[in-house]
Chains A and B, each alone.
Chain A
Amino acid sequence: MATLHTVNKSPFQNQTLISCLGHVKDGDSVLLMEDGVYGAMTGNAMSEVVAGMGANVKLFVLGADVSARGIDAGRVAEGITSVNYEEFVGMAASCDRVQNWL
């Protein structure tokens, strides 16, 4: 039944991440990628919202996009798991559906 949601826009550019988080269901996964990874950082205006998602929704970032932007791994919020491309493909293949929040 689970959905993999992907978000590729910075939460400071538009409401996409907030909208996504408002539509996830327990058991779903959210993968932040491209500029979406800015939403995974600690100490910014979005951090509380993301941290408030609780344990029923699993949060991931695409590690390559974190490194590309010079974000220190230590700035990625606790509880957000970094994945590589291969793991991303595995997640997409094993969930019931993928919803890309453009």
Chain B
Amino acid sequence: MSIVKKFLYVNRKAPYGTIYAQEALEVVLIGAAFDQDVSMAFLDDGVFQLTKGQDTKEAGLKNFSPTFRALGDYEVTKLYVEQESLDERGLTLDDLQDIQWEDEDDDYAEKPSIIVVSRAGMADVMADQDVVLSF
């Protein structure tokens, strides 16, 4: 019998200035094969990763923002987003992509993946993990 552990991937950096965000997403996709309880946290500049309307064509970069919408296929269905980090940056939930996952056990009903939490709530989420990986 294998023990399922709770893994949290913490994202605190904006998407294109450094490679952290893209690497984190890749690690999550690869790590998803190990059947653990995986969730992601977005705080500080990390919330910028989830904004909609990213268009990297002219900048000559790979736009990996659509890949967040594939996470549900990989059973990564909990994306915690910190309210204070959104507020500080003048963002609301409407500025973020609509990310959903299909619940196979509920006739493939589409359910939202983004869970907005307060800073204190985020601290609770972090304290509830077996493993915290930061990017």
Contacts and interface: CB of A to CB of B under 8 A. Distances in A.
A97 interface: yes
Contact of B44 (A19, A98, A100): A19
B119 A22 contact: yes
Given A24-B123, A25-B127, A99 B134 contact: yes
Given A15-B44, A19-B44, A102-B12, A25 B131 contact: no
Contacts of A12: none
A21 to B, nearest CB: 11
Contacts of B127: 1, 3, 25, 28
Contact of B132 (A1, A22, A25, A98): A98
Nearest to A15: B44
A14 to B, nearest CB: 9
Contacts of B12: 16, 19, 101-102
Contacts, number: 37
Contacts of B43: 19, 23
A99 B135 contact: no
A102 B123 CA distance: 16
Given A15-B44, A19-B43, A22-B119, A102 B134 contact: yes
Interface string A38-71: 0000000000000000000000000000000000
Nearest to B12: A19
Interface in A1-18: 1, 3, 15-16
A101 B129 contact: no
Interface string A78-102: 0000000000000000000111111
B119 A97 contact: no
B131 A100 contact: no
B126 A99 contact: yes
A7 B130 CA distance: 19
Interface of A: 1, 3, 15-16, 19, 22-25, 28, 97-102
21 contacts: A3-B126, A3-B127, A3-B132, A15-B44, A19-B43, A22-B119, A22-B123, A23-B43, A23-B123, A23-B126, A25-B123, A25-B124, A97-B129, A97-B132, A99-B10, A99-B126, A99-B134, A101-B134, A102-B20, A102-B134, A102-B135
